[in-house]
Structure 1
C-alpha cells in the first residue's frame, strides 16, 4: 500500500466532515473535479472505498468513518503543534474559521476585523455567515458568534456585546392609516411582516412586561427571512416588523420607522463568541479573544450596536 500524503488525508477529512465536494473544494481552494480525483487516488492507495458518492451528496463509508475518527485527533494535534510556533514567532498565523449570523458578521466586519487583520497580517480569516445554527465542531469552525441563548451549553463563551432587544417597528404612514398597537394582542388586528426561520418555521414574536410574557404568531400577507428586507418592507408601509433594534437604528433615527410596543420589548441576551473547551485554542483565536476584551474594542462594539 502506498502511503497517502498528509495533504490528501487533510483533504479527505474536510470532505468527510463537510459531506460536500463543493463546500470542501471551496474551503481547500481547489476545483471539485481536482478534489474528486484526489479522493479516488487516496482510495486506490489504501485499497478501500472511503466515501459514498451520489449525484447530490457524499458521506464517509464505515471504513471512511473509522479513518476520520483516527486521523481527526492527529490532524488537530498537528495544528496545535504548529500553532505553538506562533508564540515563538510572536504573531499568530494560519486560517481562523468563524461561523456567525449575518448581523454578527456585519458587526465584526465593521468594528473588529479591520483592526484584527491589520494587527495580524499572517492570519487568513474565513468568516461564514448563515442563519441556521450549526455544530461548529462538526463543520470544522474554530468559533461561532450567536446570541447567548443559542450558544450550546458545552461551549466556552465570551461576551462581545451588551444585551440586545427586538423591537416592533412600522412606518409613520402605516401608523397614521391603521393606528398604533397598545398591547401585543392588538397585533392580531394588524398586517405584520412575518419572519421565516432557517428551520422553516415562522418566528413567534416574544413580548414581556412586569413579568407577563406573551408569544404571538402574528397575521400578515408577507413573510421574509432577512432583517434588512423586513426593515425595508416596513419603511414602505407594508406592515409591522419585529427586528433587532440595532438593525433598525438608522431607519428609526431618520424617522422612516417608529417604534411600537416599546415598553413590551425588554432587552434580551447579547452576542457571544464561543468555542469548544476540550480542544487547544489556536493562537489566531486567542488573539481575537484578547482583542475583543480590549476597552477600545468594547467601546467600538457598543457604538456599533446603537
Structure 2
C-alpha cells in the first residue's frame, strides 16, 4: 500500500484541529477544493474514513482520532527539528504575531518589545491592539494577551503583570452634588458613564465583597468605548465611571477623582500572555516568553 505524504497528513491534522475545512485552508494557505482533494486522496490511500463531514461541521471519526493521536507528536517533533536547524544557524527569525488590547500593547512596548527586537534582530513583531476577544488560532496569531479571567481554558497562560482591579470613580464636584453610593445597588440612582465593548454590548459593572458578587447594568446618559475617555468624562463631572485603576491613577493622584465603593472592588488576576497548549511553540515565541519571565516578573 502506498504511504501518504507529509502534505496529506498535515492537512488532515489541521482540519481535525480547526474542525473546519475553511479555517484549515486559511491556516495552510490553500484553497478549500485543494484541501478536500487532499483528504479524499488520503482516505483513499489508507482505505478508511477519517472525517465525519456535514454541511455545518467536521469531526474526526474513530479511526481519525487514533491517527491524530499518533500523528500530533510526530508533527510537533518535526517542527521542533526544523526550529533546531534555525537555532543552530543563528538566532530565531521570522514574525511573531500577538493580539492584545491597548493596555497590553503599551505594557509590552514599554518593556519587553524593545529588548526583544534588540536581542533578536532577525525577528519582527506584529502587535495588534484591539479590545475584542478573538480565536487566536483561527486568526493566525502566535499568542494573545488578555486579563487572566478571559484566557480560554484550553490555552497556556503566562502572567505578564501583577493583579489589578476595576474601580468606580467620580469627581469631587459630582460627589458633592450627589450622595456617594455605599452599595452597588445605589448606582441605579446615579448618572453612570457606561462602556460599549468592541462586540457592541454594554459592559455590566461587576462588584464583589465577602464572597458576594453583584453585576449591574448601570443607567446613564453617556456611553463611551474607551477607558481613557471615560476617565476624562468623570473628571468633568459627567458621572461615575468604572475603569481599571491604573487608567484613573493620574486623576486619583491629583484629587480630580475619588474612588467610591472601594470595599466592593477586589483585585483580580492581571494580564496574561497565552498560546495554544496543543501546538509546537515557535522558537521566536519561546524566546519572547523567556524574556517576559526575565524582565517583567
TM range (shorter): 0.7 to 0.9
The 1:253–1:64 alpha-carbon spacing in structure 2 relative to 1, beyond 3 Å, is farther
The 1:248–1:85 alpha-carbon spacing in structure 2 relative to 1, beyond 3 Å, is farther
Q: How far 1:138 sits from its partner (Å)? A: 0.7
Corresponding residue for residue 297 of structure 1 = 296
Q: Does the CA contact (< 8 Å) of 1:17 and 1:140 recur in 2?
A: no
Q: How far 1:124 sits from its partner (Å)? A: 0.5
1:66 pairs, out of 36, 54, 79, with 36
Q: In the TM superposition, what whole-angstrom CA distance separates every residue of 1:50-94 from its partner, at most 9, and x where no partner exists?
A: 4xxxxxxxxxx5x15537989xx9x99987555323421342111
Q: Does the CA contact (< 8 Å) of 2:235 and 2:257 recur in 1?
A: yes
Larger Rg: 2
Aligned counterparts of 1:65 and 1:121: Cα–Cα separation in 2:
36
Moved segments of 4+, more than 4 Å: 16-20, 67-70, 75-82
Instruction: Give the 5 Å matches for 1:1-306.
Output: 50=31, 61=32, 63=33, 66=36, 82-294=82-294, 296-298=295-297
RMSD in angstroms over aligned alpha carbons? 2.9
Aligned counterparts of 2:38 and 2:256: Cα–Cα separation in 1:
53
SS for the counterpart of 2:110 is helix
Count of residue correspondences: 244
Q: Does the CA contact (< 8 Å) of 1:18 and 1:139 recur in 2?
A: no
The 1:171–1:18 alpha-carbon spacing in structure 2 relative to 1, beyond 3 Å, is farther
TM-score under structure 2 length normalisation: 0.74
Q: Does the CA contact (< 8 Å) of 1:93 and 1:284 recur in 2?
A: yes
Q: Does the CA contact (< 8 Å) of 2:161 and 2:296 recur in 1?
A: no
Corresponding residue for residue 50 of structure 2 = none
Q: Can you give the 5+ residue segments of structure 2 that lack an aligned partner in the other structure?
A: 1-21, 42-71
Aligned counterparts of 1:197 and 1:164: Cα–Cα separation in 2:
19
Q: In the TM superposition, what whole-angstrom CA distance separates every residue of 1:159-182 from its partner, at most 9, and x where no partner exists?
A: 112221111011122112223211
Q: How far 1:19 sits from its partner (Å)? A: 10
The 1:198–1:77 alpha-carbon spacing in structure 2 relative to 1, beyond 3 Å, is farther
Aligned counterparts of 1:64 and 1:229: Cα–Cα separation in 2:
48
Aligned counterparts of 1:206 and 1:162: Cα–Cα separation in 2:
20
TM-score under structure 1 length normalisation: 0.72
